[in-house]
Amino acid sequence: MQEVIEQGAKRVKVFLTEVAGRLCQEGLPIGDDCRINMQISDAYNAAEVKRDLGFVDKRERFWAQEKFGTDDLVEYRANQEKSDGERLERLKTAIFNKFLGGEFIVVRASRYDDIKNGVDNVIIDRQTHEVVCALDEVGDMNGRNFDDKKAKVLAKNKGGGVNLKYGLGLVPFRQENQSGLPLFLIALPSEKIQEGLRSFSADLAEPSLYESRLFSFWVSLLIAQVKSFLLDLSHPQGKAEIQAIQRIVRAVQRFEKTLNKFQWT
């Protein structure tokens, strides 16, 4: 059983490498793991990128020492690849690309923004080139961990959304800071993550039945959050804030319209 899961995890990894290759050909600064690549940023000088990479290494060394009693980053990252959190992030990135890749670009946030700003994925509208939203994740469907993560996401949205230092700007997809992005939560428990890996098809055009069910489930979660987000939007003050809110609403509503196509797949 475990061997089948590991084989599925390898298929997801290879699939994301192929997606990343296609996105790089479009001019997007994406690494093989489908993350925004900080090191090919044109928005910040080399010294600033180096400081941010240092921040990532320092935080991950702390976690490596805390979890495994070592500060070896290679060992830590190899262990993280097998964690539910990492596997869920890769799985959802792969599945979202299968179903939404024609209309939206779905990539993983940079390591810096993952750690600093709590963002796992960034979704960009291919038609307007606007960043639609960010995604976070949790490996539970109920209980304290789920409730805590849900409360944090809600607080961030009510506080004006999340920031991305290494975001993706407008044409030609230049990396630049993005602020005030809505954040939505994706959830899936461990046993469902494992089933998703076992059932994952490497064929972009032919998702498995379980992938379709998973995506439909995530769509239902997202639509409910989108509606709640739009309902809770504060009344903007001043021309600049009004324009910013209008842009966000326009982008999120288009995203919702696309999601509705898949609600019963």
Question: What pLDDT is attached to residue 147?
Answer: 84
- Identify the residue whose tokens are 């240092």: 54
* Residue 12 located in a structural domain: yes
Question: What pLDDT is attached to residue 245?
Answer: 73
Q: What angle do CA 243, 131, 114 make, to 5 degrees?
A: 125
Instruction: For residues 56 and 220, give the distance between their C-alpha atoms in angstroms, rounded to a whole number.
Output: 33
* Residue 68 located in a structural domain: no
* Residue 71 located in a structural domain: no
* Residue 173 located in a structural domain: yes
Question: What pLDDT is attached to residue 170?
Answer: 47
- Is-contact 200 91, C-beta < 8 A? yes
Q: What angle do CA 9, 199, 87 make, to 5 degrees?
A: 30
User: Beta strands 131-138 and 121-125: pairing type?
Assistant: antiparallel
Instruction: For residues 150 and 136, give the distance between their C-alpha atoms in angstroms, rounded to a whole number.
Output: 10
Tokens of 260: 């509705």
Residue ranges in the chain modelled with pLDDT below 70: 41-42, 169-176, 234-243, 264-265
Cα torsion 194, 199, 203, 205 to 10°: value is -110
Give how many domains the chain has, as a whole number. 1
* Residue 183 located in a structural domain: yes
- State phi, psi for 154 to the nearest 5 degrees: -60, -45
* Residue 245 located in a structural domain: yes
pLDDT digits (tens, 9 = 90+) for 71-124: 889 888 888 899 999 999 999 999 999 999 999 999 999 999 999 999 999 999
* Residue 67 located in a structural domain: no
Rg, C-alpha atoms of the chain: 18
Domain region containing 31: 2-43+88-260
Beta bridge mates, 176? 167
Q: What angle do CA 134, 136, 141 make, to 5 degrees?
A: 140
Question: What pLDDT is attached to residue 265?
Answer: 47
Dmax of the chain from CA atoms? 58
pTM: 0.90
Other beta carbons within 10 Å of 67: 12
* Residue 72 located in a structural domain: no
Omega of the bond leading into 172 within 30 degrees of 0 (cis)? yes
pLDDT digits (tens, 9 = 90+) for 119-148: 999 999 888 888 889 999 988 777 788 888
